[in-house]
Structure 1
Amino acid sequence: MPRLDDLHAKPAYRDEVVLNTEVPQSARVWDRWLNGKDHYPIDRRAADRVATILPEIVDAARHDRAFLSRVVRYLAGEAGVRQFLDIGAGLPTVDNTHEVAQRVVPDARIVYVDEDPLVVAYARALLYSSHEGTCDTIGADARDVDTILNQAAITLDFTRPIGLLLLGILDHLVDDTEALATVERLVAALAPGSHVAIAHPTAALHGERFHQAMRLVMDMGGPPTVTRTPEQLARFLDGLELLNPGVVSCSRWRPDHSPFGTPPEVLQFCGVARKT
């Protein structure tokens, strides 16, 4: 599998990717917590310093990834969703959305969206669809709803149900009004039977240590980040049918059976709802 340095070496990418290796980038910091290899020294420093203040964030990142797998399996299987729009997808890692979905439904169609040109280039180089299905990547800011919808419509049929995934992206839309309006516009474009899944950090469990860790990353030049309460997260799903167990820790959204009982809560909370 190509590494980040390969993107420098291959001429095909030179005009597409503008890398800033002097400030941490959220997808690469996340990659560090997931034991990936696609990050730079600045990302490792940021990730490790945050983990020193808030070691629980490493488990949160991994439970968030496990939640992605479970919710996509549920949507592609029990819910009968055959199309996915994954906004704020981040760097490819193990069990990406299309891989999970196409194991259940080989002809599933997936569109990834990310504003980071590195993520887009890496995704286009590495994410291969099944023969029966389709996988595409769009470079766009999550708030640029018109661009996302227009380009996604090339691959997805918006007259049929879609699984909209907003995992780890809404916390970078720091203005509440703008964030709510962005989700509302995206949901308005979805057909009945579509589902919306969100995942978002909260300080409800760790209080000031969480805020201190996020300030550290922002002071190093990282992207603005905001925390929201579980009650605030539920507002993103207003007007939709919220599925059980509601807005909960990612670790506790329909966890796989474990002989060790209910998993502990983590700082990344989530919710899944259906458009009726």
Structure 2
Amino acid sequence: MSEPEAVPPGVDPTRPSAGRLYDYYLGGTEHLEIDRIAAERIRARMPELEDGAWANRGFLQRSARWMAAEAGIRQFIDIGAGLPTRNNTHEAVQSVALDAHTVYVDNDPMVLAHARSLLEGADNTGFIAGDFRAPDDVLGAPEVQALIDFDKPVGLMLIAVVHFVSDDSDPWALVRRYLDALAPGSHLSLSHITADRNRPEVVETFHEVYAAANEQVHFRSKPDVERFFDGLELVPPYEGAKEGVTYTGLWGADDPETADSDGSRWVYCGVARKP
């Protein structure tokens, strides 16, 4: 596979990027040789890597559609959005409501370079360069203020992003800062990688790969992931289930038994309402 014609300013081609790695896992095209080498190190020990990535992507799509269809939400902030691929948040929610607004946020310069051109012409959709760890900058950005009415409920999408924040930076407080800015009736959709009941040698390989990347990855237990939803009203992940955190393949699944795949069990997720 050939490299992109030009590496955008600010991109270090000698280090893997979390956004480009995820793009590679999903079968995208916006990655470099360094990313492919790193990803294949993980795949060598984790054959279910692609399945896990697509289970996470499927959760994003199902939860976004659910918020639009069942909760009536018409505006979304997707932080750590990554490189646009098939079935993005704005496409998922606009399949339910054409007037839905979506703002994407990411801090990767390669994402910024490609997203604005790929999203050109998309109605009610914007993209800003921003970092999840700087909530005031994200929430106060002119593009966010222009597209999001903070007096009305918002769908906050934090899909596979919080696990790039260390405990020292208190990711739970960061999530709370975003939620505090949102109106009652807003919903949080969050997914997070876990080492629970997963193979230690694969977890070690993830740590080694991402230690050399632009972001480090932090695995967390189910109780730690549940803490992100403190004070919120978790919704049942599928028909007949109790409210709570589950695996990405299960959330919104028509057939939970077949959706409970090996790849899915690498990532916890949940959707919850702000009272």
Q: Which runs of no fewer than 5 residues in structure 2 stay unpaired? A: 238-243
**Aligned residues: percent identity?**
39
SS of 1:198's partner is: strand
User: Which 4+ runs in 1 deviate beyond 6 A?
Assistant: none
1:42 has 2:41 as partner: no
Which residue of the other structure, out of 47, 63, 77, is the alignment partner of 1:85? 77
RMSD between aligned residues:
1.9
- 1:189 and 2:159 aligned: no
Offset from partner CA, 1:194-248 (integer Å, 9 cap, x none):
0001001000131412321222213434421100011110100100001113211
Change (3 A) 1:262 1:62: closer
**1:63 maps to which residue?**
55
What amino acid sits opposite 2:131 in the alignment? D
1:171 to 159, 163, 166: 163
Gaps of 5+ in 1: 9-13
Q: 1-side partners of 2:166 and 2:134: how far apart?
A: 15
CA 1:235–1:96: 2 relative to 1, 3 Å: same
Equivalences for residues 92-103 of structure 1 within 5 A: 92-103=84-95
SS in 1 for 2:4: helix
Match of 1:138 in 2: 128
Give the whole-Å Cα distance in 2 for the aligned partners of 1:247 and 1:176: 24
SS in 1 for 2:30: coil
CA distance, structure 1, for counterparts of residue 69 and residue 168 of structure 2: 33
Are 1:269 and 2:268 matched, yes or no? yes
The TM-score, its normalising length taken from structure 2, stands at 0.90
Contact 1:98 1:129 (C-alpha < 8 Å) held by counterparts: no
> Corresponding residue for 2:151?
159
Contact 1:29 1:39 (C-alpha < 8 Å) held by counterparts: yes
- Displacement of 1:177 after TM fit? 5.5
Which amino acid in the other structure matches residue 196 of structure 2?
A
Distance 1:6 1:134, change over 3 A: farther
CA distance in 1, matches of 2:99, 2:125: 10
Contact preservation (8 Å) 2:195, 2:220: yes
Q: In structure 2, give the amino acid aligned to 1:233.
A: V
How many Å apart are 1:154 and its aligned residue? 2.1
Please report the TM-score for the alignment, with normalisation by the length of structure 1: 0.90
Tell me the distance in 1 between the aligned counterparts of 2:269 and 2:100.
23
Any conservation in 2 of the 1:54–1:209 contact (CA below 8 Å)? no
Mapped to 2, the partners of 1:166 and 1:47 lie a distance apart of: 22
